[in-house]
Structure formats: C-alpha cells, structure tokens
Amino acid sequence: MNRALLTLIALVAAAAAGCSDNAPRLLFAADPSISVALSQSNITVGAPLSFGAIMLCVSAPSSATIQKVSIHDPHGAMQVDAFAVRPNPMASGHEGLGALNIGLAAYGTGFAPAEPQSVRGVCPKDLLAPTGEEAAALSELGVEVHLGSGVTGGGRALDLTYTADGSVRMVTIPFGIWLCVATCPPDIGASAGSSGQP
C-alpha cells in the first residue's frame, strides 16, 4: 500500500473520530467542580425514596434519550427502581423534587417513568449564570430508589446510559445518594471503602 493511500486512510479515520467526539452529549447542568450527596436516615428497608433537582442538558442542539440510571460504584443493596425527566420547574418559580418517601409515579407532577425520557435543552453558555430562557430549557431528573437489605446502601454518583444521534453513551453525574435504617453518619459518602461497607 502506498504512502498516499495510508495518509488518506489515516485522515478519514481521524475525521470519523472527530465527528464522534463532537456528537451531542448529555451533561449535568451545574458547576463541573461540584459534587452533591444526599443522605436519608431512618428509612424502611424496601420502601421507595424519590429524589431530584438534578438538572440535565445537551451539549448541542439534539435529543438525548436516557435508557438506564444506575448507582456508580454501589455500596450495599440500594438500587434504582425508576427514573424520569420533566421541564425545569424552578425556572417558573416552582420547587424541584427534593427527597420524598414516595414512588416517582405516585409523585407525578410532570414525571412519567413509563414514557421515553428525552432531554432536548441545550446547555447554558455559562453554567453558573444561565439566562432565564436557558434555565427554562433544562430538564430535571427524578430518580426512585430503595434499600433491598442491610443497614446502609448507596453510591457517590449516578451513571446515566443514553442514546444521542444513534450512539449509545454514558455519563456519570456527581450526585450521590445514601440510605440508612438508622442515623446516617455525617461522612457516610467519604467513608465508603473498597470493601463495599460504608
């Protein structure tokens, strides 16, 4: 194979890689340096907990459809039972979903876990200072979890598997959730070790 043909193949491969890297991505619409953790004490094993206020956006005009939400590096027996997105309620003066001892479908208010979950709003140019229009375009993610057994469970982040422009991708959202049957230690997320025991 001559040098010109090899160079052409290399350029085509580089262009294809560049197109893939420039594909729209699902992103956490927050300061990239922050990490959030929610802990819930005195929970009942098997009972649902729904939480939200996780704002999402896409990096470019497109649509990202979330296929799966799971606990990143899980500790204990907590699992995700449902998830859904809705238009950002805070942009119109309403409250986001905090943490409620109820299933996501029962909570409703714009969350419909049985429907496809697509995010279409383009990320603000400045994540720290979105305009009113940019804030209104964001989507709030709600997640329902439960502790299946044990006394504690959780993880430091959430893994979102999604499709965008025909590609399957994953993004890790630095939003941790911890459930405890008694009082959660103040440092529960920080003390979770590789053994899987908080």
pLDDT in tens, 33-44: 888 888 999 999
> What are 115's two structure tokens?
């429907």
Tell me whether residue 193 is in a domain. no
Tell me whether residue 16 is in a domain. no
Tell me whether residue 102 is in a domain. yes
| Cβ proximity of 180 and 151 under 8 Å | yes
Number of domains in the chain: 1
Question: What residues have CB less than 8 Å from 156, skipping those under 6 apart?
Answer: 35, 37, 72, 73, 174, 176, 189, 192
Tell me whether residue 19 is in a domain. no
Which residues of the chain fall short of a pLDDT of 70? 1-21, 190-198
Tell me whether residue 29 is in a domain. yes
* pTM, entire model: 0.82
Q: Residues 33, 35, 38, CA angle at the centre, nearest 5°?
A: 165
Residue 94's domain comprises 24-180
Query: Would you state the pLDDT for residue 180?
Result: 96
